[in-house]
Amino acid sequence: MRYGFGIDIGGTTVKLALYDEDRVPREKWEIPTDTSENGVRILPDIASSVREHASRRGLESSDVIGIGVGAPGFVTREGVALRCVNLGWQNVDVKGELERLTGYRVEAGNDANVAALGEIRGRSGKRYRDAVMLTLGTGVGGGILSDGKLVIGARGIAGELGHVTVEPEETACCNCGRKGCLEQYASATGVVNVASRILRGTDEPSALCSLPSFSCSDVFDLAKEGDALAFRAVDRSMEYLGKATAQFSLVLDPEAFIIGGGVSHAGEFLRALLEKHSRNYAIPEQAGAEVVLAEVGNAAGALGAFCLLQD
């Protein structure tokens, strides 16, 4: 049996896991992300943690497949992180440096892309060859599997699906500096913003008015309980998302859209709303694309990083 490491680098912690070649996790642990001095110690810290775990388990070099890494930023096919704002990285050769520090083979990718790979490979049931993962969290992340392969792009920026324009009339700016991005409506903050705007423009009663402030899950909970205004807000958010999935279908023709991230905890209610809009905007031949909820959860990042070694 051979083993490999899957590593998910976040802004505050690095999640590490040791997998066997059947993708079964044998051990999981975390180390803090040291972002001081532009994150110069992040890779050396990872290297010593990996070496320590390998030697404690008595793993020889020939027992180790390598190290897969997901990093929060643009990462080229060659494993160079062009820009990872949260880590302070600019042009960091993740693959080259980690290979030099450990002697193992290293593959690296963007964290959202890698998490999509982990979700698609790790879920039970149907094996998708063509699927799009949308992670609805603070922002909207994406990852694309096309013809069985993760789509990376010429500059490592493929799959930035949260920044497709869905509202040309928007006046507020997105985090990316542009206006009308999907992320402005379908992320957790997006759902809250959509609800706040509807509230400001109407005298209609809503339980949202009685809350001093509200979160995305408050809006979904009230919508489920039949609050008409909250329902309009989540319906509008999912309509923007459905408009986007129909465009993604035209480009990629996936079998399925997989919805993950904190917002997706709204569950079947969210899935069914999105499926309705997704079908309405799609051409008839693509209206049957499945809309499914993510299964793998937080482990998808490290698992997908490990899967980079197997692809």
Residues engaged in binding Zn ion (CB under 5 A) = 163, 174, 176, 178, 181
CB-wise, 152 or 182, nearer to Zn ion?
A: 182
* Shortest reach from residue 139's CB to Zn ion, in Å: 8
Q: Which two tokens stand for residue 219?
A: 């809006």
Order of all β-strands in the sheet with 89-93: 74-75, 80-84, 89-93
| Shortest Å distance, C-beta 244 to Zn ion | 12
CA dist., res. 24 & res. 3, Å (int): 10
- Return d(Cα 95, Cα 83) in angstroms, integer: 15
Q: How far is the CB of 46 from Zn ion (least distance, A)?
A: 30
Pick between residue 174 and residue 258 the one whose CB is nearest to Zn ion. Answer: 174
CB of 71 to Zn ion, least distance (A): 20
In the bound state with Zn ion, the residue whose beta carbon lies nearer, of 178 and 197, is 178
Considering beta carbons, is residue 176 or 272 the nearer one to Zn ion?
Answer: 176
Are residues 179 and 194 in contact, defined by beta-carbon separation less than 8 angstroms?
no
In the three-class reduction of DSSP (H, G, I as helix; E, B as strand; rest coil), residue 65 is classed as strand
Q: How far is the CB of 290 from Zn ion (least distance, A)?
A: 27
Report the residue number, 155 or 178, with the smaller CB distance to Zn ion: 178
Backbone angles phi, psi at 251, to 5 degrees: -80, -40
Residues 6+ apart with CB under 8 A from 180: 165, 166, 167, 168, 169, 170, 174
Q: Is 123 left (phi over 0), alpha (psi -120 to 50) or beta?
A: beta
* Residue 240: CB minimum distance to Zn ion, A: 13
What gap in Å lies between CA 110 and CA 81, rounded to an integer? 8
Residue with smaller CB distance to Zn ion, 85 or 176: 176
